[in-house]
Structure 1
Amino acid sequence: MEDKIWNCILKRLSETETELTKACLDEWLKESPDHVQKYKEAKFLWQLSAKIKPEQHEGSFEAIKANILVASSVEVKPVKLSFWKYGIAASLIGAFLFSLFYFLNTNKPANQKEEWVIKKAGVGKVIQIVLPDSSKVWLNSGTELAFTTNFNSKKTRSVKLTGEAYFEVKHDPSHPFVVKSGDLVTTVYGTSFSVRAYRNESSATVSVNSGKVGVTAPGNESAVFLLPEDKLRYDLNQKSFLKTTITDPDVDSWINGDLIFDQTPLEEVLKTLSRKYDVRFETGSANYKGCMLTARFQNKPIQEVLKTLQLVMNIQSEQIDHTIILKGGTACN
């Protein structure tokens, strides 16, 4: 049987199946009586494997094989096994045992929780971390990154991101690097790219400096692939993608304290400024909906940014401690 079907069978027998694997197996079983028979045979071998002591799960493939074959001599109510009749037990057992060995050594018990390492960049801070595989990640202000303690031992190098981060991923084709950021899932093998997915923003973006990445999200059947200087914006409300070319290639400029806004909604600009400068904005009854800002600030203080808002949009500002009150402004609707 194909690896996909073996996986679906193992998920059911171990009571860890998902809706997807359940549908996959149910459909396969309906295809022919032969498939039903093969499932019964696999279930029988699984029952035999239950006689292995828990501490033996960490053993070698040969050790598990030996224990299951010994267990088969114990009285178990068997199904009618066609592979015994036709003398092909060795090949089927071999295939099943290999899948079982993989399952036992790569899946934790349901009641054993994974341990996560969480790294955070405080307000107004940018930090760099090095992952267990030597990949480098820069976290922007107000960003959180999480990865498991067994990061290096998994088939997929997976991290969870809330906020904005720039990645330099170590090349490893056999272990894809996956960034889960809200609805977005970004998969790479070795490249440099930036992901922005803050909880309080209506869109998420992925920008690529080098290499190739694939991005998926709910409502989109296939992955969108990005090459250097490609930028993908995902609208969280519309569940839609917009792919563009980066007008300014410095997707990692914020690492050095720079701010780049390219037709960025003013609401998003203010959220970015709040995180970077640890301030809070009050707009009162002013309506800045539809206002966009295009500007670049090379590690400038907040006062310089406020002067630009005054010149470009006629927005007046008054700062009291960590609160900045905005007044006036040119209508942008």
Structure 2
Amino acid sequence: MDIYKLKKILSRYLKGQSNETESALVEAWYRSYDAEEKPLDNSEAIALRNSIKSRIDADTLKPRIISTRAFRIAATLAIFSVVGLSTWKFSHRKANNEAYTIVITGTKGLKELKLPDGSTVWLNAASRIKIPEAFTGPRREVVLEEGEAFFDIKHDAEHPFIVHSAPVNVQVLGTSFNVRAYKALQTISVAVATGKVGITGKSKTLAMLLPGQQLSFNTLTGEIAQSNVNTDFSQSWKKGYTYLNQASFNELALVVKNIYGLSLKPANKKIANYRFSMRLVHNMQSKQILDLISQLHHTHYRKEGTDIILY
């Protein structure tokens, strides 16, 4: 449901103006997070509505004691109306201290992970992902906090799979796709290998991608760009190869740092503006990779402390 329509329903519910269907929707939504609670009867619904309103208006009223049940839904409704369903669900889980596993890879690191539903995730170097120990509720959700991951998700039409990588969310039912979200690049890219992938940001749909399509989202400007890509290239890092296509110096430096542990720096602005297209083999020696980079634009390199200066 569109977030704006839902906010209107919640507003009518709080004012006692919602119809029977809308009231049932709100109350069923609430009960879905606590299935053992008995259904609300009419008097409970009225009391709950009044308590919610009291909670939301608490900044202008004297403190008062409300039931734990009403407090919980009031707080979540307030959050829900601002940030949307998918983001709220993760806030709700965090508030209830559900168990998570955080997996981190360092420089030159690569991990293959099995999710609670049997899906598989490959985590690239210098990455961090948060995974619940069990998927509960209507959605399967993980948070890619930093880095790059390839997801091969088991199909489950009843439980969408969502990757949160602020400020973008990626939602699928069952497919395979790559997400790159290194903060240093200030760009989040999603490339689809199989199936269909939906991408949202700021409570709106940014794109629906099919195999061979990629979306890039600029985290600074909010600009998006869609392109066609070679799906083998976008996931080749799992097999020990990385392809760069007109990559910026910053992107090249990040890849070189993550794969080889080398800190690459430009000697001047001209070199900083170069673009790089190349295939990097992860088990190459440091000298081999630096020689290869230098050949592209006929540059040289020298070592200064822990930095490799390209000049």
* Same fold per superposition (TM over 0.5): yes
Q: 1:122 aligns with which of 93, 106, 125?
A: 106
CA apart distance, 1:20: 8.8
| Equivalent residue number for residue 244 of structure 1 | 227
Q: Does 1:26 align with 2:11?
A: yes
CA apart distance, 1:324: 3.6
CA contact (8 A) 1:214 1:226 kept: yes
Distance 2:108 2:215 in 1: 26
| Equivalent residue number for residue 198 of structure 2 | 214
Q: 1:224 aligns with which of 202, 207, 220?
A: 207
CA contact (8 A) 1:317 1:324 kept: no
Percent same amino acid among aligned pairs? 24
The superposition leaves residues 192-244 of structure 1 with CA deviations (integer Å, 9 ceiling, x where unpaired) of 110000111121100111111011123x8324011111111111122021111
CA apart distance, 1:308: 2.0
CA contact (8 A) 1:286 1:327 kept: no
| Amino acid corresponding to residue 154 of structure 1 in structure 2 | G
Larger radius of gyration: 1
| Equivalent residue number for residue 200 of structure 1 | 184
Matches within 5 A, 1:1-333: 24-27=9-12, 35=17, 60=36, 64=38, 112-149=96-133, 151-161=134-144, 162-218=146-202, 221-247=204-230, 249-299=232-282, 300-319=284-303, 323-328=306-311
| Amino acid corresponding to residue 311 of structure 1 in structure 2 | Q
Structure 2 unaligned regions, length at least 5: 28-32, 51-72, 77-88
The superposition leaves residues 33-77 of structure 1 with CA deviations (integer Å, 9 ceiling, x where unpaired) of x726979x99xx9xxxxxxxxxxx97856xx35xx77x98xxx9x
Distance 1:109 1:258 in 2: 37
Closer, same or farther in 2 for the Cα pair 1:137/1:324, shift >3 Å? same
Distance 1:310 1:248 in 2: 28
Distance 1:263 1:301 in 2: 23
Distance 1:126 1:270 in 2: 18
CA contact (8 A) 2:233 2:242 kept: no
Closer, same or farther in 2 for the Cα pair 1:159/1:191, shift >3 Å? same
Distance 1:29 1:58 in 2: 21
CA apart distance, 1:28: 6.0
CA apart distance, 1:317: 1.4
Closer, same or farther in 2 for the Cα pair 1:122/1:35, shift >3 Å? same
CA contact (8 A) 1:267 1:288 kept: no
Closer, same or farther in 2 for the Cα pair 1:257/1:224, shift >3 Å? same
Closer, same or farther in 2 for the Cα pair 1:108/1:226, shift >3 Å? closer
CA contact (8 A) 1:134 1:170 kept: yes
CA apart distance, 1:122: 1.5
CA apart distance, 1:182: 1.9
Distance 2:195 2:241 in 1: 24
Distance 2:297 2:93 in 1: 58
CA apart distance, 1:144: 0.6
The superposition leaves residues 298-322 of structure 1 with CA deviations (integer Å, 9 ceiling, x where unpaired) of 333332221122111122112467x
CA apart distance, 1:253: 0.5
CA apart distance, 1:259: 1.3
